[in-house]
Amino acid sequence: MLAKFAQVEALQWLEPLAGDAWHYRRRARLAVHYDAKRQQFKMGFRAPKSKRITVIDACLVLAESLNKLIAPLQHLLPQLELVKQLGHVELIEFEHQVVVLLRLREWPTASDQNHLEQFSKTYNVAIWCDSEQQLAPLSTSEPLSYRTVGMSIHCSPTNFIQAHRQLSEIMVEQALTWLDIQPSDKVLELYAGSGNFSLPMALAGAQVTAIEGVASMVDQLKANAHRAQVNLAAFCTDLEQSWSSQAWSNEQYTKVLLDPARAGAPHAIQEVATRQPQRIVYVSCAPDTLARDAKVLKESGYQLKQAQVVDMFPQTHHIEVMTLFERE
């Protein structure tokens, strides 16, 4: 796709990064529907291009710690009052804790809380509720975290984390290798999230500026940087708007890393290209928007030195692609 749509050829394609092909996924969102008239409850995945729910009691790509919760939840949830206002259920495997996240309109009743807390003790999971009033655990919960290279990152259950628990760290290690961080480097990271890439870069000795569009994640990134005692500044900015009023954009960065959503970085890549950093690592979950943005870099004097497919979603057609661009 890079060659076809952007006329960009990588000098070297590395062997794909791959991990476990089954039971690898550490997060899943399950659709739910309760038919009060028939008193029928459904929980599962939505069929392709449809609102129809395919009921499941197990999933071969889910981590075993999540898989074993599906059948008990199928039994418990229809018995609760909250089933009538339940939006969806998320199962998430963090570093030291499994979370069941319930999306609700209103906070659970005392009776429902008692049943959920019993479920929590029986299956050793934390129950979190995300209502219109608050996002919080039902009872005291240890900090949630996931691993990146060199440290654990504290986060919220609604934060984005990479789906494949093995490949997330391996991908960060590859990015660090390509960037070849030096103590003199000023690195700009775009779409930084809670710090999966930026914190390891700072631990490697770089002066890192991390930009993220979600304010709560910026707060968590700052807190994680404080815990790690690293040289990192984080700002909340809409990267698809002009950077001209942003003080951080006036710095001279030697290297840039960006990991945007599927829409890519149509404006941000233009801003990056005009600043001419030495190296750019672009991590993409959408090859079509990567091709579009790669064309901008080529036209700005960059060469695609290396590229690598990351099989982040085995048993599906989705992939991640990592690319390394350098100034010619």
List Cβ neighbours of 48 (8 Å cut-off, separation of 6 or more).
Answer: none
35 is known to lie in a ligand binding site:
no
Instruction: State mean pLDDT over 192-202.
Output: 96
Q: Percentage of the chain with pLDDT > 70?
A: 98
129 is catalytic: no
In 3D space, the residue among 222, 325, 221 whose CA is nearest the CA of residue 265 turns out to be: 325
12-13 and 302-310 strand pairing: parallel
Residue in the block written with tokens 């990192």: 232
Sorted by where each begins, the domain ranges of the chain are 2-19+166-327, 27-144
162 is known to lie in a ligand binding site:
yes
pTM of the predicted model, to two decimals? 0.93
The active-site residue, picked from 59, 129, 236, 285, is 285
Question: pLDDT confidence of 212, banded at 50, 70, 90?
Answer: very high
> What's the pLDDT at 141?
78
- How does the average pLDDT of the chain come out, rounded? 95
> What's the pLDDT at 1?
64
Q: What is the rounded CA–CA span in Å between residue 228 and residue 217?
A: 16
Over residues 235-290, the pLDDT tens digits come to: 999 999 999 999 999 999 999 999 999 999 999 999 999 999 999 999 999 999 99
Q: What is the rounded CA–CA span in Å between residue 138 and residue 127?
A: 6
Instruction: State mean pLDDT over 224-231.
Output: 94
Q: What is the rounded CA–CA span in Å between residue 124 and residue 205?
A: 39
Q: What is the rounded CA–CA span in Å between residue 57 and residue 185?
A: 50
> What's the pLDDT at 6?
67
93: tokens are 């495997």
Nearest-10 crossing angle of helices 110-123, 64-76: 150
Over residues 33-79, the pLDDT tens digits come to: 999 888 899 999 999 888 899 999 999 999 999 999 999 999 999 99
Over residues 286-310, the pLDDT tens digits come to: 999 999 999 999 999 999 999 999 9
Check whether 140 has a pLDDT greater than 90. no
Question: pLDDT confidence of 133, banded at 50, 70, 90?
Answer: confident
90 is known to lie in a ligand binding site:
no
SS3 210: strand
Instruction: State mean pLDDT over 310-315.
Output: 96
Q: CATH fold of 2-19+166-327, please?
A: Rossmann fold (3.40.50)
Q: What is the rounded CA–CA span in Å between residue 135 and residue 253?
A: 37
Tally Cβ neighbours within 10 Å of residue 267: 14
In 3D space, the residue among 56, 57, 114 whose CA is nearest the CA of residue 81 turns out to be: 114
Question: pLDDT confidence of 178, banded at 50, 70, 90?
Answer: very high
| C-alpha torsion angle, residues 101, 103, 108, 112 (rounded to 10) | -60
Check whether 7 has a pLDDT greater than 90. no
List Cβ neighbours of 110 (8 Å cut-off, separation of 6 or more).
Answer: none
Instruction: State mean pLDDT over 3-19.
Output: 86
> What's the pLDDT at 325?
98
CA distances from 20 to 16, 62, 63, 171, 217 (A): 13, 11, 10, 14, 29
259 is known to lie in a ligand binding site:
yes
Over residues 19-33, the pLDDT tens digits come to: 999 999 999 999 999
CATH, range 27-144? 2.40.50.1070
> What's the pLDDT at 4?
66
> What's the pLDDT at 122?
97
